[in-house]
Structures are given as C-alpha cells and as structure tokens.
A and B are shown apart, each in its own frame.
Chain A
Amino acid sequence: MELFFYPLAVIVSGGLISLFLPEKFKGAAVSLAAGIGMVPLVYLSLEVINSGNAMGAAADFSYPIGTVNFAIDPLSSFFIILISLMSFIGSIYSMEHTKMYHGKGKGLSSHFFFLSLLIASMLLLAAVQNALLFLVVWEVMSFSSYLLMTFENEKDGVYKAGINYLISMHVGVIFLMSGFAVLAVKTGSYDFNSFRSVLEQGDLESVGIFFLIFAGFGMKSGFIPLYTWLPGAYSAAPAHVSAIMSGVMKKTGIYGIFRFIVLMKIPPPEIAFIILAISLITGITGVAYAVVQKDLKRVLAYSSIENIGIAGTGMGLGLLGLAYGKPPMAVLGFTGALIHVFNHSIFKPLLFFSVGNIFARTGSVNMEKLGGLIKPMAFTGLSFLIGSLAVSGLPFFNGFTGEFMIYWSMFSGLSKGEPFLSIIMIVSLAGLASIGAMAIICFTRAFSITFLGSPRSSYDMTPENPGLASRLVFSIQIFFIVIIGIFPQYVFMFTGKIVSSFIPAGHAAAIPGYFSALGSLSSVLFIFLAVVSILFIARFRLLRHRAPSSFKTWDCGYQAGNTRMQYTGSSFAAPFMKILRPLYSLTVRIDRPAGLFPDRGGYDSTVEDNLEKRVIYPVINGLNKFLNAFTWIQSGSTQQYIMYGLLFLIATVIWIMAA
C-alpha cells in the first residue's frame, strides 16, 4: 500500500515545487511528478488485477472521521490506471499548451499547483473506503477543477460557467451526503463495506438510497437531466483542462456508481431498467445536441454526455444481466461499460488537444470560421480524424470495441422465454444504433467543416511544427486507440478479470467463451486492412503512368465562387435538425438586402438546447420562487440568529425529554 501513497506524495510535491520555479518549468515539474507517480501506480494496479487480491490499509483520524479504510481492489485499480495514465498525458499537453500564456501574468503557479492537487485527489478517491473522507476528497477535486476551469477568467462568461459548475457540483454533493447519511445511520458506520448490509436488501428503501447516490455521481458525469453545467464548463475551460475534466474527472462519477453497484450484489431489475433508460436518453440527447453545435468544444462536451450515456447503457445491461440471471449479458455489459470508459478517456482528450492546437493557431474554436486546416495542420488534422473515427465507434478504432460488447450484450439478452426483456433489448438496440448514426453525422461535420475544404477566414498557413511533447502525447493516444481497436479479445480478457472480481462466480464463468469470437472479429479487421491496402495499391499502380491533372472543384459553371460559399456547419446539420425539430430552439436573424443597389445582407442563426430552455430552466425557476419565500429567515441580524440557536436548543431538549 505504500506504493500507492508515496506516488501521491510525489505528485503533490511536484505541484508544491512548481510554485517556486520559473514559469517555463512549472508544467515540466508537474508532469515529471505525474510521470514518476504513474509508474508505481500502474504497476501496483496491474498486480492487483492479475492476482485478483485487493490491498488494504487503515488510518486513524480524529473524532468525526474515525478509522478510515483504504482498499485497492481490481475495480479501483482499473480507475487508478486510467486516472494516472491520462493525467500524465494531460499534464504533458498542459505544459505545451500553456506556453502561449507565458509572460502574460496569468497566474500559472496556482494553475499547475491545482492541477497536481486535482490529479492526486482523483487518485486518492479510487482508494478511499470511508464515506466522510470520500466527500472531503471529492470536494478537493471539485474545487481544484473549478480553479483550473476558470483559468481564462478575463473572458466573458467564464465565471458564469464556473459558478454554474461549482453550484451544480455542490447540489451533487448534497445528494451524495444525504445518501451516505442515511446509510451511515442505518449501519452505524461510514465504511463503504458496511453499507453493503443495507444496499443488499433490494427493497424500496435501498433503491431510493441508491438513486440518491446515483444522482450525486450522475451530476459529475453529466447524465440527463443533470448535465446543464457541462457544455458551458467545457467550452469555458482551456483545452487541456477540458480534456482532463472530460477524459478523467468525469469518470470518477462512473467509478462511484460502479462502487455502489458492487455493494448491491444482485440488484433489483427496476434499478437496472431505470439506469438503462436514463443512459439511453442521455446518449441520444447528448449526440443530438452535439450535431448542431458550432463551437468545437461544445461539440466535444455534448459528445462527452453521449459517451457517458453509452457507458451507462453498458452498466444498465450488466445489472439487468445480474437481475435476470443471464451471465453473458452481465459480463458483456459490464466489460463494455468499462472498456468504453477507458476508450473515452483516450479519444476525447485527443480531440480536445487537437482543438487546443487549433485555438493556439487560429484563436477560434468556432467551426464556421475555420476550414481547410488539414493543410497547415496535418498532424493535428490526422489526430482529430482518428479521434473522430474512434468516437463514432467505427471498426478498427477503440470506440468500436466497447460499443461492440454493449451491442452484443443486448443481443444476448434476446430470448424467446422472456418477451418483455426482449422488447427492451430491441428498443435499446435501436437507441444505440441511432446514437451511432448520429455520432457519424456529428463527427463527419466537425472534422470536415474544420479541416477540409478551403479556409473560411484568413490565418497563418505555414505548416505546423508540433513540439516533441505533443508528438509524444498524440502518438501514445493514437497507439492505444488502434491497439484496443484491433485486438478486442485481449482487452476483453483483461477487463474480464476486473468484472469477474465483482460479479457472482457463476456469472464470471462465461468470460473465457468470448475470446475466440472476438479473435475472429479481430481477424476480420485485419482482412479489412488487407483489402483496403490492395485496393489502394491497385489504384496507385493504375495511375502510375498517368499524370493526374489538378483542377478547381466543379462549381456548376459559376465563375465567381469564393470560400464563403462552401457548405457551413449549420447547413450541414440542417436536414438532421429538421427531423428532431422539437429538441432545438432555432433563432434566425436575416438582414435582407434593401434598395436598388443593395450593399450588404446578412444571415445569422443560433441553436439553443430546448431541453435546458423549456424543461430544466422552468423547474429551476419554480424552485427559485419557492425558496425565495423563505428568505425572511436569513434576515442578517445577529440577534435573530442567536434566537434561532436558542429555539433549536429548546426544541431539542423537549424532544429528548419526550423520548
């Protein structure tokens, strides 16, 4: 267990040391510490996963907290690997990305210190087994991410998004606290393991407690309808922070949900159905909003919501498999969820980093102002393309591996004996299929409007020269994306070990059976690679002796074409938006050319999120009005507050006497 705590100390001291270093070296100190810390953490976690034995330690704290248990079981290990690896990658990129803020008095000291604090708190979270300390660490994490997020606070709207984030996180904490409090009262202990006795019962009460906790964690992960903070926060944060928030911190919510699922053993089917429904709705809504965004960071933010939905779907299926006693479904669902969580924390940071590079060069992340960037930014463009293919879940890239398991889990839930479950499974199949189809629309749009065609505004067209750090970081991510994509069988066996540690042994026996089917999937992918290469070489050989001629794009004979006439992101999304019209509120402003010699005209359209505007805001406003009725309690006069204390004491005395 020392192997766990020392690295954390190294990471935090890296942050402390960076406070005293010149601006240039702050990032290096933090990423070096994260790198040094990562090695033993990954080693330790792999050890735990391979042996299947959890490690534990206990520490005594003073009164309110008491004895705190730390434990690293295979589930924690999985998240420790994810967090330490991706935080390391994220901190290297931060080092490179923050170069553009050097010498501008931007307060990089606190930025890097809180980055290291964020990393350490996320790691610690995975091992804490005590509800009180968990909440403390959770708060440290939320608060340091808030400080990181509001880094560009001179910009409009950054503080607004930040405060929205901070408040949402605290609403989430209230859910968590109440859930934990009920459990602690019932069991007399704050230890997660002792919560088991209440959660295992599977009665209405335990379902209620579970959903309190689910809401708390769901707020962090951004399940619908608890997502409203997310698009704003991710687009306000600098790219490297959005990457860490979306790629790593969001996963702590998933970790929390998993942690409590494990405690339930065999959950009641209602929980599974509700999680499945919420997740599918989250996935569909997330991607449907992602399709219409113009701000690339918002596209990625909404797509993060979608991906949490997909992971949640896997989780729901796993739970259904347990509840209905269907091992294949449980195993495939849980592994699918874990693999998807891991995949998302690889490809989403890659996409955010690419957007960071775009911002560093063009000063904009609005795709309607970009275009043709693949020529000056070939390296970034290729990375964004690979990230897009992965996030769309297309074969050969890692996104497919996780989604394949989840689809497969749905198919294995089909059975003649259970018509109801079969209907649910087929509806979920349709849901996941539409998520996949929409993701293709979303990312072909984001990639092609930004990188392809011709530039829509003028910017530096000299070829980019990516620094060593970006080259390294991007290649590591692309390596994982492809490896997980083409060898699903090994990834499955590895994740299977984690899943088998928390599902009943009878279910775990189903795991080895999938190795060969996934092996054939992998060989088909190699056949695909071979076919494509043959076709490409054939075309190349055919054209070898024929010089290709270059000509401008076919413009229907129009002679005065310019780059502003290219298809825009909004027009690309228009046919799609028409179909799901009720989801969006569209405002169009048209300045019609007027007079005999019109000089200018304009067209401007804005799309807003109707779910937020029409459903969630009214609820929040109603709540606001209701709570405003109680403002007289907080009068501001000290005498009155002392009176409250007195009244409370008297009431307590009466209550105790009566009891």
Chain B
Amino acid sequence: MIMIVKAVNLALLFLLPFFFAGLINRVKSRLSGRMGPPILQPVKDFVKLMKKSEVISVSTSLVFIIAPSITLGSVIVAGLLVPMSGGSSILSFDADFILFAYLLGLGKFFSIISAMDTGSSFEGMGASREGTFAGLVEPPFFITIASLGLLGGGISFSGLMKIPFGTGDLTGLVFLMGVVALFIMVIVEGCRVPVDDPNTHLELTMIHEVMILDNSGPGLGYLTYSSWMKMVVMGSIIANLIIPEELYYAWSLLLFLAVIALLAMVIGIIETVMARLRMTHIPQFLFFMTSISIVVLSTIVLFISGGLK
C-alpha cells in the first residue's frame, strides 16, 4: 500500500504543476470575463519549449548552461521530502525540513547567478530583489514549521501537527494563522501577485520573469516548470496541515487534490482582484508573514505551558 501511495505521490509531483498553473489562468480568465486557454495549456507550452532550440547570450558562461537543471533538480528533490497525498512523503528522515529549505536555497543561488551571468542590468535588478525577498521569508518559515512541529512533537515534515478538527480547542485558530503564513510563502516562492506579477511586461517592475529574460527553449521550460512545481510543493505542506490523518486513502487523496485546487483558485482570485504591490511595500508584506509566524509561536507556547485551554 505504502508503495502505491508513494508512486501516486511521485506522479502527482510531476503532473500537478501543470494543472496548478492551468487552473490559476482559468480562474483569472473566467473572473475577468474571458474564455481563457484550456486548463492543460501549460503542458502544451512546456512541450513547445522543449522542442525549441536555445539562444545563448554571448556574455554568458557555463553557469548559465547548468543553472536551469540545478534549479529544477533542487525543486524536484525538495518535493520528494514533502508529504503529499495520504500524508506520506517519498523520502523522510529526521529534520528533513532543513534540507528542504536549503535545497530551495541552492536552487535560488543558481537562478540568481545565472541571471547575473547575462550581464543585463534588468536581470541584476530581478536577481537582487529575488535574493532579498526570498531571504525575508526564510526566518518565518522556520518559526512556523518549528512551532507546528513543537505541538506535533516531531522534527520532520511527517511529524507536524494537524489541525484538531472538532476538538473545540483554540489551536485551530493558530493553525489557520500558520496556513496563512505558509500561503504567503507559496506566493513568494511562486512569484505571484501581490509580490510579483508573472504577466507584467515591463522589465523594471519584474522579479522572477526578468531573471529569465535571456533563457529560452528547454532551459526556459525547466525554469517555468520549476516555479509551478514550487507552488505545488509549498501547497502540499499546507494541505497536510489541514487533512486529518485517519482518513481512507481515497478520501485523503481527493481532499488533497481539492485543497491544492482551492489554493490555485485563491491565487487566481487574488490576481484578479488586486494589483501587484509597489516594490517598496513588498518587504512590509513579507514582514507581515514574520509577525503571523511570531503570533503562531507565542500562542503555541502559551498553549503548551498551560496558559491557554
């Protein structure tokens, strides 16, 4: 059984990113009154990119060639560590979220230096913003995960506490805040509104899109796919906080897919109803995540020390 679950999860890891991206676009177009591309359009886009050849800038070096593979590889392996359907991850060991965070960091390191490799000032701008903003969400990510782990008594993704449905205690609220904090992380990692707008076409206001201006063909395909996958991976962490443990696998799988779909829809709705924040306001938005995570931490500590019932 566990092998089947793992196989399903592996398939989900590779397939869900396409649906996720397609669903966001579908929600956005429907809400703005357009027909929109089919949900599986991202698959076609990906295949199209894979069939193309690449244009390589004359100022680049080997770094530019290897970076897309390392970035995508790091996201895939990070995805293997995260529990998906049925609450089980493909690989799991103690303190695995440290490796998770640092693998994403490795991917980021290479995407930054690959952007800098082109010598373009636009890409430099994007790279420096990406590094700074990603740095701001790292501490609250650890605070949130450790707080939830403290309550669950485990130090791996599978040991995180689940939302105690129906017990009527206050911790449910804390979890809600934890979910919000992690959702902000999904937005930052996936480079979505209000932090970054994937549809903008003005170089000065972009973050992630401007970093991949000079990528093309399979390299661009890898990078785009890795950014979709990152959202799914982060979304799976949220889904596993919400889904109760003792369900039948079929229900748990359905619920998992539903939560992921819901996240995609929420992202789509946010992108329809609001614009990207001004660049100077983004750090404030990210500090919001830090404050939520600190609230999560303090509430949990109050709870375990018996101050809250």
Contact = CB atoms under 8 A, between A and B. Distances in A.
Given A434-B138, A536-B69, A454 B119 contact: yes
B146 A572 contact: no
Contact of B128 (A381, A395, A549, A571): A571
A392 interface: yes
Contact of B113 (A415, A447, A556, A574): A447
B135 interface: yes
Interface string A429-449: 111111011101101110111
A452 B113 contact: yes
A517 B155 CA distance: 12
Contact of A444 (B121, B127, B140): B127
B216 to A, nearest CB: 9
B57 A433 contact: no
B132 A575 contact: yes
B180 interface: no
Contact of A453 (B59, B101, B129): B59
Contacts of A419: 301, 304-305
A644 interface: no
Interface size bracket, B side: 35 or more
A483 interface: no
Contacts of A392: 105, 109
Contacts of B238: none
Given A400-B102, A528-B103, A563-B119, A430 B142 contact: yes
A550 interface: yes
Contacts, number: 260
A656 interface: no
Contacts of A548: 53-56
Interface in A529-567: 531-532, 535-536, 538-539, 542-543, 546-556, 563, 565-567
Interface in A501-545: 517, 520-521, 524, 527-528, 531-532, 535-536, 538-539, 542-543
A625 interface: no
Contacts of B124: 566-567, 571-572
B113 A575 contact: no
Interface stretch (A195-203, A404-412, A490-498): A404-412
A546 B69 CA distance: 18
A611 interface: no
Interface residues of A, number: 86
A550 B58 contact: yes
B65 to A, nearest CB: 9
A289 to B, nearest CB: 15
Contact of A531 (B60, B77, B98, B280): B77
A579 interface: yes
A372 B119 contact: yes
Contacts of B50: 542
A535 B107 CA distance: 14
A328 to B, nearest CB: 10
B116 A452 contact: yes
13 contacts: A414-B149, A416-B150, A419-B305, A426-B146, A430-B142, A441-B131, A444-B109, A520-B93, A531-B76, A542-B218, A553-B57, A553-B59, A553-B123
Given A454-B119, A567-B123, A576-B135, 12 more contacts: A396-B106, A403-B102, A404-B95, A408-B155, A444-B113, A527-B80, A539-B218, A551-B56, A567-B127, A576-B128, A579-B132, A579-B283
